[in-house]
Structure 1
């Protein structure tokens, strides 16, 4: 297995090389993209859709759309940002079809579990906090929740978030700020 540039393993290739190879029809290069970005896209989708099956469908639809659009990708954003943008559109499509079903108990599954504690009070408090965070996130408007998840969980910059959600970086920052303020208020007892 070699990269499109002729040296090294394709799995070690940078995003630009993978994009070029995949745009030329190299399925192996696209498979590397899927393996590289599938898990973060799934975490993102899982936090914003009703259940695991919908998240898997959204991610699959994201990669199908990306494969079909590879030849038209203009490189105005990174591969990561482009994929998150497509995923955001697919999540919106899912909302239109599902009409905002309630989010189930697995919303926060990718957030590390609280440290186990020999103190039952601490363990119960950590579990209660995660449940309260899950409930508070579920109540946020979509753009606020998406901005918060992309910033705090996926560590994206505001320009990347703006591109992914079709808004300016300042709008992404504003949605994140409002989400953080709302979460801070709703989770006040844990501060």
Structure 2
């Protein structure tokens, strides 16, 4: 009789191990179905992120358009210190807004790319996407200012203490790429 069922019992598998195997397969299928739902949700999320990036690029807050709206040096007056101080402050704020806009665009683009290849293996991602992600990560790393990081102090005390932040690599700027 053991020979009639494909030899399963003949090789020493009990009914309990067969049931465990069936349960494991069912669990794996349930997880695969859940991943499919997650992938669909991520696809919708990626579309939303892409739409946000497009909106930013078309808005006056885009770093390129911010650069076009810069005031000339004498626009706030000449010959008195307050005008120079005001212009210096204006320049600082304007420059920081440009950096913020550019950084935000890069982060949104990286998020969109990451969501786009979520669920794929590294080999399944095309080379251009890998290179773009590396360039975005390198730029974010270069733009990192530890003094502005609210978790930098916690990272210095306890590298595991800062949520969602990579451990510091010993460089002056952020973690390892």
Give the TM-score normalised by the residue count of structure 1: 0.27
Structure with bigger gyration radius:
2
Give the TM-score normalised by the residue count of structure 2: 0.29
